[in-house]
Amino acid sequence: MTERPALEIITIGNELLLGETIDGNSAWLGRRLAQAGIRVARRATVGDDAATIRQAVGEALERTGVVLCTGGLGPTRDDVTKPVVAALFGRELVLDEQLLERLRQRFRERGLEMPASNRTQAEVPAGARVFANPRGTAPGLALEDEEGRLAILLPGVPHEMHALVELSVLPLLRERWPRRGRPILHRVLRTTGMPESALAERIEEVVAGLEPLSVAFLPAVTGVDLRLTSWGELEEADAVRAFDRAEAALLEHIGTHVYGRGDEELTDAVAALLTSRRLTLALAESCTGGLIGKRLTDRPGASVFLLADVVAYADEAKVRLLGVAPATLAAHGAVSRDVVREMARGAQRVGQAECAIAVTGIAGPSGGTPAKPIGTVWIAAAVGERLEDRHVRFGGDRAEIRERAAQAALALLWTLLRESGT
Amino acid sequence: MTERPALEIITIGNELLLGETIDGNSAWLGRRLAQAGIRVARRATVGDDAATIRQAVGEALERTGVVLCTGGLGPTRDDVTKPVVAALFGRELVLDEQLLERLRQRFRERGLEMPASNRTQAEVPAGARVFANPRGTAPGLALEDEEGRLAILLPGVPHEMHALVELSVLPLLRERWPRRGRPILHRVLRTTGMPESALAERIEEVVAGLEPLSVAFLPAVTGVDLRLTSWGELEEADAVRAFDRAEAALLEHIGTHVYGRGDEELTDAVAALLTSRRLTLALAESCTGGLIGKRLTDRPGASVFLLADVVAYADEAKVRLLGVAPATLAAHGAVSRDVVREMARGAQRVGQAECAIAVTGIAGPSGGTPAKPIGTVWIAAAVGERLEDRHVRFGGDRAEIRERAAQAALALLWTLLRESGT
């Protein structure tokens, strides 16, 4: 493996040092550059202070030779990155007439006159490459000296920075480093319903055989995500083939727990099954309070299958809206197997839906008893005549218990749908 | 204003440079230190590489004299912060028997034997101050040389780091800097129902009279937050008095739009009014899909007032579950004034609740028409006999439209409750 080309990142802004803004730009750049086979050697964050910016940029150029700065390119006098870096390279700021006209045009299109302060944004260091900003007023800039030291200046607004990186910075770096490193690539498989330790045991042998890919276990309230990583040993096409082989091997062992890849949600898997089979769904929620409905309707397309969600928070609502028998509630309490089953059947009936999910439990922080401590949840799922229930005791705080309960209920329906499918 | 004492922060870990982890520790430290009157002069992030850590820590000690490092204190061989910094100070690592016993105890309490690798966590640089970690295995460490240069090493796990800062690091820094700077303090007032520009105009004169406090407008899907800041000109007690005066002056002008302070939510304000007046609530949601119910039940205590939430996603569900008249749906469509009013009345009736909220709209990305484009939402709120509706056209994507619709519906009920209150 060849040593990867490297650069340093400097993010600029008092709001970063004060912690009012979390530096998401550095993380985004780290991921994007890793994918492009470029290493981030080091990062720094400095305030809107000319001397410190000058010092930090100077050190990075001395050390690594290439520095990418974000922030401090706005039109106000707080924004000093451009004159400071221009001075460091011994360049004057000159007015770029074309850029000025583009800025004026931008304001005109919005029916506005350009404020005088924005004129400084059309000034660029002599000899700099200027990258038009498709989403804002501050252009990207690149300065290179005779010894090949390169400073790239980008605005700090994330979506403007992202666009400039894709359109201008990555092409520039590819030009500079035609033989750059192999990319660091990831593939994530998302699992649910199996704790990390059990999962690790089940796939121990498979994992050992996946080299040079590494596997990380990332537990979350939704389940455990498995992140496969190719750390630059493979070319992109080979890494994709290795991911495919690894995925196939893992699915053989834990296939019934893998609901998606990347950022796919369990709701996407459930939605896909319901939609393709033209089945309809109704929900009956108690402790999750609308969370399952919310999650299913987060993405478009839920209206095809989701008919209704009855959040019956009070006992009387369970009786009146879902037809739970008062005798069942009296005999077993609201958090019980019998009630959750009646809730599921009630949801099917009142929603006139083929499938149902029901949840009732104690999310806390109060309401727990020795027999039914906080975290006690009953879930049920129905597909036609078939009705399955499950009793779980979740850990965590109120929010975590609710999220875990919603995920477990969706997982139960997902399993039933897969078992009942063709 | 005296110059604030300053330090530098170095966060350590390959996962930070690769962007797999966002550096929230730096932001948290920035806020916490600003509150304590200590300035962060500069930040750096480096990978798990001994030479780079040594260089970065050395520079920071040379430049600012005090450096706070997080990360790289775990039990694996990736974790090199401690030996590197010990070497930089010319100190040997020695086994701390007390610390070793505490570690063993920690594992014993969990019924586990301590893995051999954890033994290295009981080794500390000779002469270092050792801070017991109440939440994990890696202790905090502080090394000082004869010239007063100070390096503080903390684990990177956020809740462990937070505890060590509160318990040990802030006391140490207060001891070092008894005459430290005045704190930077914030107070946030949360508003809804008024766009940023209108709000700014309405309070323009008040804001001008608040010096030395500054006011920032922070627009979000929930409304506009106003952040008042005292930038270190005032002692803490004076700043609090200035915040109180500023808040009183602002409330005179925009009081009907201010629902809370800090991280209070509009749902908290609604819950407080319903609970104190012993009123009950039922919801009828369409495009928000359970989001309002989810938000109201995010915090405990909702069972006192929230009886039911009927998410009637399909038209037939609106008829069957909420009693919306088929004729109304046929004449006006599901997204209409008449339907949202019938939904609210239906929610009161089927939920047997005194109050109701109803929402119906088009969240997109499909389903829009020229007459009812995406973002068209009807909301209604009822308190007893009184029923108010509102028609809004929200911008943004599906998630934003849903969040804005939920917030507007809650705001309508909140306004009605305040108007109908004593």
Mean pLDDT lowest among A195-204, A237-246, B236-245: A195-204
- Say how many C-beta atoms besides its own lie within 10 A of residue A27's C-beta: 22
At residue B243, the 3 state secondary structure works out as helix
* pLDDT for the residue numbered B191: 97
Task: Give the residues across from A283 on adjacent strands.
Answer: A309, A357
Q: DSSP label at B394?
A: -
Q: What percent of chain A has pLDDT over 70?
A: 99
Q: Beta partners for A377?
A: A361, A392
A29-38, A247-256, A360-369, B104-113: least confidently modelled range: B104-113
Q: For Cα atoms A25, A181, A179, give the angle at the middle one, nearest 5 degrees.
A: 115
Would the CB atoms of A314 and B307 count as touching at under 8 Å? Answer: yes
Q: Would an 8 Å CB–CB cutoff place A350 in contact with chain B?
A: yes
C-alpha dihedral (A208, A213, A217, A221), degrees to nearest 10: -140
Is the pLDDT reported for residue A76 higher than 90? no
Closest Cα to residue B223, out of B187, B267, B186?
B267
Query: Does the distance separating the beta carbons of B41 and A44 come in below 8 Å?
Result: no
Instruction: With cut-offs at 50, 70 and 90, classify the pLDDT of residue A3.
Output: low
Phi, psi (deg, nearest 5) at residue A383: -130, 105
Average pLDDT over residues A224-238: 92
pLDDT at B209: 93
**What residues contact B49, with CB distance under 8 A and at least 6 apart?**
B80
Q: Report the chain A residue with the minimal C-alpha distance to residue B406.
A: A294
Residue pointed to by tokens 């804005």: B404
The pLDDT confidence band at residue A112, using thresholds 50, 70 and 90, is confident
Among the ranges given (A8-17, B212-221, B266-275), the one the predictor scored with the smallest mean pLDDT: B212-221
Burial label, B208 (beta-carbon count in 10 A; 0-12, 13-18, 19+): exposed
Spatial CB neighbours of A171, under 8 Å, sequence gap ≥ 6: none
C-alpha B167/C-alpha B179 separation (Å) is 20
pLDDT of residue B371: 92
Each domain of chain A, given as residue ranges in start order, spans: 6-176, 184-261, 266-420
**pLDDT (0 to 100) of residue B376:** 96
Residue of B nearest to A229 (CA): B20
Residue bearing tokens 């701390």: B96
Neighbour-count burial of B227, counting CB atoms closer than 10 A to its CB (0-12 exposed, 13-18 middle, 19+ buried): middle
Please give the residue that has the higher pLDDT: either A396 or B419. Answer: B419
Q: Is B265 on the interface with A (CB under 8 A)?
A: no
Q: Is the pLDDT of residue B107 over 90?
A: no
pLDDT computed for residue A113 by the predictor = 83
Query: In one letter, which amino acid is B207?
Result: V
pLDDT in tens, B28-41: 999 999 989 999 99
- Residues with Cβ within 8 Å of A357's Cβ and at least 6 positions away in sequence, in order, are A281, A283, A284, A292, A344, A347, A379, A380, A381, A382, A409, A410, A412, A413
Q: What is the structure's pLDDT at B421?
A: 75
The domain at B184-261 falls in which architecture?
Answer: 2-Layer Sandwich (3.30)
Q: What count of other Cβ atoms lies within 10 Å of the Cβ of residue A140?
A: 26
Q: Which of the pair, A214 or B116, is modelled with greater confidence?
A: A214
Residue of A44, A59, A363 lying closest to B43 (CB–CB): A44
pLDDT (tens digit per residue) in A247-271: 999 999 999 999 999 989 999 999 9
* Confidence (pLDDT) at B100: 93
B303 contacts A317? CB cut-off 8 A: no
Which of A313, A315, A360, A374 best tests the B interface by mutation, with the highest count of B CBs <10 A?
A: A313
A40/chain B closest Cα distance in angstroms: 6
Neighbours of A421 (CB within 10 A): 11
Q: For the residues B217-221, what does the mean pLDDT come to?
A: 86
Point out the residue among A39, A45, A291 whose CB comes nearest to the CB of B290: A291
**Amino acid sitting at position A48:** D
pLDDT at A155 over 60: yes
Positive or negative torsion for Cα B68, B73, B79, B84:
positive
Note every long-range contact of B196-199, with CB atoms under 8 Å and residues 24 or more positions apart, other chains counting: B196/B224, B199/B224, B199/B226, B199/B254, B199/B257
Percent of chain B with pLDDT over 70: 99
Nearest to A30 among B17, B59, B316 (CB): B17
Inter-chain residue contact A308 with B307, CB threshold 8 Å: no
pLDDT, position A2: 44
| CATH class given for the domain over B6-176 | alpha beta
> Is residue B134 pLDDT above 50, yes or no?
yes
The pLDDT of residue B120 is 87
What residues does B389 pair with on adjacent strands? B380
| Sheet strands (E) in A238-362 | 258-261, 281-285, 306-312, 355-361
Torsion over CA: B265, B269, B272, B274 (sign): negative
pLDDT at B101 (0 to 100) = 93
Give me the amino acid identity at B391: H
From residue B15, how far is each of A31, B71, B159 by CA, in Å? 10, 11, 18
pLDDT at B20: 87
**Distance between B24 CA and the closest CA of chain A, angstroms:** 6
Residue B2: its pLDDT value, please? Answer: 44
What pLDDT shows up at residue B146? 95
Percent of chain A with pLDDT over 90: 81
Whether the pLDDT of residue B1 is over 70: the answer is no
Q: Running DSSP on this structure, what letter comes out for residue B288?
A: T
Looking at every residue in chain A, the average pLDDT score rounds to: 93
Supply the pLDDT for residue A150. 98
Whole-number Å distance between alpha carbons of B60 and B12: 14
Q: In this complex, do A34 and B40 lie within 8 Å of one another by their Cβ atoms?
A: no
Structure tokens at B335: 């997204």
- Sequence-ordered list of residues with C-beta below 8 angstroms from that of A283, at least 6 positions apart, any chain: A292, A293, A296, A306, A308, A309, A310, A347, A351, A356, A357, A358, B311
B 11-40 near A (Cβ less than 8 A): 16-24, 26-32, 34, 39-40
Tens of pLDDT, residues A292-350 = 999 999 989 999 999 999 999 899 999 999 999 999 999 999 999 999 999 999 999 99
Q: Are B260 and B187 in contact (CB under 8 A)?
A: no
- As given in the structure block, the two tokens for residue A293 are 């409905």
Mean pLDDT of A136-145: 93
pLDDT band at B11, cuts 50/70/90?
very high
Q: Does A391 touch chain B (CB under 8 A)?
A: no
pLDDT of residue A136: 84
Given a contact cutoff of 8 angstroms between Cβ atoms, the answer to whether A158 and A11 are in contact is: no
Averaged confidence pLDDT in chain B: 93
Whether residue B195 is predicted with pLDDT greater than 90 in this model: the reply is no
CB B362 within 8 A of CB B368: yes
Beta strand B39-46 with B6-12: parallel, antiparallel or unpaired? parallel
pLDDT at A1 over 50: no
Q: What is the pLDDT of residue B248?
A: 97
May I ask the CATH class of domain B266-420?
A: alpha beta
- Pairing mode, strands A306-312 and A223-231: unpaired
Q: Is the pLDDT of residue B300 over 60?
A: yes
Indicate the residue type of B10: I
How many CB pairs (< 8 A) connect A and B? 235
Interface of A with B in 283-342 (CB under 8 A): 283, 285, 287-294, 296-300, 302-303, 306-314, 316-317, 320-321
**% chain B with pLDDT above 90:** 81
Nearest to A313 among B42, B56, B306 (CB): B306
Is it the case that residue B3 has pLDDT exceeding 70?
Answer: no
Assess whether pLDDT exceeds 70 at residue B318. yes
A84 contacts A67 by C-beta, under 8 angstroms: no
